[in-house]
DNA sequence: CACAATTTAATTGTGTGCGATTTAATGCGT
DNA sequence: ACGCATTAAATCGCACACAATTAAATTGTG
């Protein structure tokens, strides 16, 4: 019996055993990997995700974008204002329900999509795994993510 | 041929296909899941990771901690100052090599370990997967992470 | 030994994330 | 119609991440 035996609460507190650290650290690496390519489009990684959501469908509310990305208005409002200043999106109050703000794309915002198409392919190669492996990993992560979110919600 | 056919660069720009988004979003969920438990110890999630590194070995340099967590001094210096103000760690210049700052634990910092031991077990349950699945997922992620970091380094 | 290159932290500035609160608009029950 | 709960964004404060730069100490080389 020694420190490498792998049982006891001890081993749960070792960094090398942490799934959460693997997730955290990989996420940081993803952002760093995207950064040089996105900088060429004048985007940060979270801004890019917002643009992806809008490229799929224009004129969504802040809430709708927030649900898709699991981000709240505290994060999105300033981010969207920056995208607006950059001339990529539009923000206007919904005339029917004035609580809502509708986010649309400018011509520039739509055009940027073309330039963005090469990025996921390049990053996919940097991941160093096959499309099938990526798909499996993505599915497993989304399951874990949904479980975590469910347990957070349950605690409320 | 339609929008759901799944080929063409088009499908690479769909959020639901993004491995990177799965990683990003799961990482955010991990932080939120840890937050209430860590708040009871007065720690944030990145601070907790630093403590885990120090619980494994005391008196490491900022660089050594940074290598283990893939964080630079721009992130670590202010974080470590906060842990110092909280009375959990000590910071002192190495007298042999005065470029380095050695990070140690206070009695309080060492004691906090005991209270932290229950956390990974509770979070592990929130993940909703078996220990084996977690181990596999962790290994796959670390491979992806290392590939990403290698591709970032290669670009320099 | 001199001194340029390297190494280690700290600093600065920008952009997230998120808890908590606030503001304004809408819905809903009586 | 009234008032109250609910909802949607915005705001505020704090703590990361990280690129870029700076400052100080050490190392390596002639």
- How many Cβ contacts (< 8 angstroms) between chains A and B? 198
Distance in angstroms: CA A31, C1' C4: 36
Residue the block writes with tokens 């438990």: B37
Interface test with A, best of B30, B51, B54 (most A CBs within 10 A): B30
Measured N-to-C along each axis, helices A45-56 and A73-85 cross at an angle, to the nearest 10 degrees, of: 80
How large is the C-alpha radius of gyration of chain B?
19
Any strand D atom closer than 7 Å to B11 CB:
no
Give me the mean pLDDT over the A98-118 stretch. Answer: 96
Judged by C1' against the alpha carbon of B63, the nearest nucleotide is: C8
Let me know if residue B151 belongs to a domain: no
Domain that holds residue B110: 26-129
Cα gap B156→B47, rounded to integer Å: 29
Let me know if residue B148 belongs to a domain: no
Contact A80, A43 (CB under 8 A): no
pTM as predicted? 0.92
Give me the mean pLDDT over the A146-151 stretch. Answer: 95
Please write the tens of the pLDDT for every residue from B128-137: 999 899 999 9
**Three-state SS at A83:** helix
Let me know if residue B94 belongs to a domain: yes
Distance of CA B152 to the CA centre of its chain: 19
- Determine the distance in angstroms separating the CA of A142 from the nearest CA of chain B, rounded to an integer: 6
Number of domains chain A contains: 1
pLDDT band at B156 (very low <50, low <70, confident <90, very high): low
Residue A129 pLDDT > 70:
yes
pLDDT at B46: 98
Contact B110, B122 (CB under 8 A): no
Let me know if residue A68 belongs to a domain: yes
pLDDT at B2: 39
Task: Name the closest residue on chain B to residue A20, using Cα atoms.
Answer: B30
Let me know if residue B44 belongs to a domain: yes
Please write the tens of the pLDDT for every residue from B39-83: 999 999 999 999 999 999 999 999 999 999 999 999 999 999 999
């Amino acid at each position: 019996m020694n420190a490498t035996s792998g049982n006891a609460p001890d081993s749960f507190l070792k960094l090398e055993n942490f799934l959460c650290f693997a997730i955290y650290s990989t996420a940081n690496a993803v952002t760093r990997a995207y950064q040089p390519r996105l900088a060429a489009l004048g985007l940060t990684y979270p801004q890019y995700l917002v643009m992806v959501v809008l490229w799929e469908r224009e004129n969504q509310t802040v809430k709708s974008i927030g649900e898709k990305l699991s981000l709240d208005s505290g994060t999105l409002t300033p981010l969207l204002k920056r995208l607006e200043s950059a001339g990529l999106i539009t923000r206007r109050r919904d005339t029917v329900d004035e609580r809502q703000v509708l986010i649309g794309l400018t011509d520039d915002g739509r055009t940027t999509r073309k330039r963005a198409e090469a990025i996921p392919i390049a990053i996919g190669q940097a991941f160093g795994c096959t499309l099938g492996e990526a798909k499996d990993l993505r599915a497993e992560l989304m399951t874990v993510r949904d479980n975590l979110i469910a347990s957070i919600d349950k605690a409320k």
